Structure 1
Amino acid sequence: MIRLPPPGAPLPHRISDAPFDPVADQEGEGGKLANATQLQVMWWKFRRHRLAVWSAGFLVFIYLVAAFAEFVAPYDLHRHDTANIYAPPQAVHLFDDGKFIGPFVYARTMQLDMENLRRVYTDDLSRPQKLRFFCKGDPYMFWGLIPAERHLVCAPTDGSAYFLGTDRLGRDILSRIIHGARISLTIGILGVAMSFVLGIVIGGMAGYYGGWIDAVVQRVIEVLQSIPSIPLWMALAAIMPVTWSPLLVYAGITVILGMLDWTGLARAVRSKLLALREEDYVQAAQILGASPGRIIGRHLVPGFMSHLVASATLTIPGMILGETALSFLGLGLRPPVTSWGILLTEARSVNTLALYPWLLFPVIPVVLVILAFNFLGDGLRDAADPLR
């Protein structure tokens, strides 16, 4: 808006003498938005969603931990410590009797409670034991390829450090949660990738061609969406032979989750293509002889890719919950493969939970990751919405 000079003041003879500066206005927020790309606008809107930004950072951290699980985990995945069966979590301290020592845990003594038939662990406050960092511990094969034995943190040389306790076989729960993250998190990504491809291809064909193809696709989607998810997952998972290797079972669970979760994305793609296929640039591409696949893949889908990414982000939590539920019910992954669902099978007994509540710790990363993906999806959806 041009501001006029006060009464009696001389009028400016040049645009540059006027109080209004068009260049400065272009450098303001309005000018930045006018000259910004779609990705830049999405990034600016996404940064204002603080909860989504923190969730994205948390998810990046969790996936990095899963990628370097062997190094981050204090112990080997299958290490058994028969002297510390059902050991409760050990607290990490910095000060002992007012004196700074550094991160340490207290040594423990164990006694058998014959009345309640349980092991009782007691901290020996006179024996602080310092933790070791970037130290040699249990040997492992990094990603199954590189032999190594370095760990981020290790137990004291003459003691133990179980930060989240141990299970019925004396295995470290924290190490098993970290190793299980690799399976539970990657199965969600791979499943969404499969459903993403199916949703774009099938939904794109239905929206672009219409007619009987659209009718058939819609009826198939309605049938699949009318079946309850959990019973259908259980039925398909039960079909897999018990003689399959853990790798085949992992691939089978991924295919099942991907084959059943493409329907929502396919409908979103179909509705978008129905609205865009009559645009002038689509008709121009048809006149120039472009194939339907090229029109869909190069002209139509990129126009609403941001919405697809947001939808895919909101689908990942369902994949993770599906794998967790199947493994918890004994129909998904099976030992020696470790996932969060398999870890929760230890907590199915009420009596066990009453005596050893730390066995329920694997549910914490499940809840946090699901919430983080939902917050991230909300932020991406708001950033991709041009009306917000």
Structure 2
Amino acid sequence: MTVQQIPEPGAPLPHYVSTAPFDPYSVEAMTEAQSRVYQASQIRLIWWRFKKHRLALVSAIFLGLLYTMIIFTEFLSPYNLHTRNVDMIHAPPQRVHLFHEGQFIGPFVYGRDMTLDMDTLRRVYTDNPNDVQPLRFFCRGDTYKFWGLFEGNLHLVCPAEGGTFHLLGTDRLGRDMLSRIISGARISLTIGLLGITISFILGIVIGGLAGYHGGIIDLVVQRIIEVLQSIPSIPLWMALAAIMPVTWSPIVIYLGITVILGLLDWTGLARAVRSKLLALREEDYVLAAQLMGASTSRIIGRHLVPGFMSHLIATATIAIPGMILGETALSFLGLGLRPPITSWGILLTEARDVSVIANYPWLLLPAVPVILVILAFNFFGDGLRDAADPYK
């Protein structure tokens, strides 16, 4: 074993001996957990904080599954959107069973017999225990056009040959409610995303100019925002939606409703951007960018907006439910989307009559996904806002 020699006084120290003072905050002095946090990116830190918000995490998973589902709407629907069964008009939901007379059969439904109540002139449906109809999975059923482009007939679940399967009942024309709710999700969920894109762009541009320049530009923008926010939303939506001609195609109506929702929802986001830029425009790095000759658009887009983008994303997630409710309200009042396009608001138009609700309460089922999606977006937005807040 060799013994290391102690250097003579005044002699240079070996390379393995550090002459720097000990820094307790250096990476080498940190524990493994502290080093992991110190070296993590901003996105990773937000993700770690977001995971602690259990309700927001569950909401994010739920919304992710819904938006994945709308890609395969035609495959997930048991029937075609417009398939009618005249023998099952206003039929109540069918129950799925697994056992028949104590014997395991697998998922199946009982066939139904229909009688007419002569006192109320209502159709009365009763299960026939002798008619067992096993459900089929990954089966061939009604033909459809996948996203309106490719023809297909593959479904996740289908009724037995010659049987029926209406898990959520049927409407006044004998159309399957489950298939129509799944199809309506594609319109109701995407209209919020398209609308918030328009609102996001307008809010950042208009609010950014008002907050960065101030003065007369800020004064004019603030007065416009106050005027728009003072007008009741529903009457304003109704007035703008009523302007659209009835001769327009359903797709043009859909785009028109999206633009209307986007044009009227940018005010809150613009105020948030303005307040942030009023504080950030006095920072030294903004002055450095100005001295280097950077343009206004570059300073706002490359230096100021990225500093609070996480806050903007959280604000946008909270604004999406308002647009979904706006489309649902317009369609419910008959001033929004029109058939053959189907949305949750259009499906709820059949439940406007109290007598219909009393006799056929399952027609209110399209309101359930609306409520769940609104709650999920609110919980998700709250969790994302808390996770993106650097002071929490």
Q: Does residue 281 of the first structure (1) align with residue 288 of the second (2)?
A: no
> Out of 51, 55, 59, which is 2:55 matched to?
51
> Out of 27, 40, 57, which is 2:32 matched to?
27
Shift of 1:243: 1.1
Residue type at the aligned position of 2:131: R
Deviation track 1:52-80 (CA, whole Å, cap 9, x = no partner) reads 01001100111111121111000001111
Shift of 1:23: 5.0
Distance 1:284 1:23 in 2: 34
- RMSD of aligned residue pairs (Cα, Å): 1.4
Aligned runs of 1:90-239 on 2, under 5 Å? Answer: 90-239=94-243
Shift of 1:115: 1.3
- Paired residue secondary structure (2:341): coil
Aligned runs of 1:223-302 on 2, under 5 Å? Answer: 223-302=227-306
1:11 counterpart residue number = none
Q: Does residue 342 of the first structure (1) align with residue 346 of the second (2)?
A: yes
1:81 counterpart residue number = 85
Distance 1:92 1:137 in 2: 19
Shift of 1:33: 2.4
Residue type at the aligned position of 1:262: W
- Paired residue secondary structure (1:148): strand
8 Å contact from structure 2 (residues 187, 343) kept in 1: yes
8 Å contact from structure 2 (residues 27, 35) kept in 1: no
Distance 2:41 2:94 in 1: 52
Shift of 1:99: 1.3
Distance 2:31 2:381 in 1: 32
* Runs of 5+ unmatched residues, structure 1: 1-13, 15-19
Distance 1:168 1:314 in 2: 35
Residue type at the aligned position of 1:142: F
Distance 1:95 1:23 in 2: 65
2:65 counterpart residue number = 61
Shift of 1:22: 7.8
Distance 1:238 1:372 in 2: 31
Deviation track 1:19-52 (CA, whole Å, cap 9, x = no partner) reads x998584312x33322221111100000000000
Flag the 1:102–1:24 CA change in 2: closer, same or farther, 3 A. farther
- Paired residue secondary structure (1:68): helix
> Out of 342, 366, 372, which is 2:370 matched to?
366
Q: Which has the larger radius of gyration?
A: 2
2:3 counterpart residue number = none
Residue type at the aligned position of 1:246: P
Residue type at the aligned position of 1:371: L
TM-score (norm 1): 0.93
- Paired residue secondary structure (2:114): strand
Shift of 1:216: 0.6
1:385 counterpart residue number = 389
8 Å contact from structure 2 (residues 141, 155) kept in 1: yes
Residue type at the aligned position of 2:98: L
Flag the 1:149–1:24 CA change in 2: closer, same or farther, 3 A. farther
Deviation track 1:328-354 (CA, whole Å, cap 9, x = no partner) reads 000101111110000000001111111
Distance 1:149 1:275 in 2: 58
Shift of 1:285: 1.0
Identity fraction in percent: 69
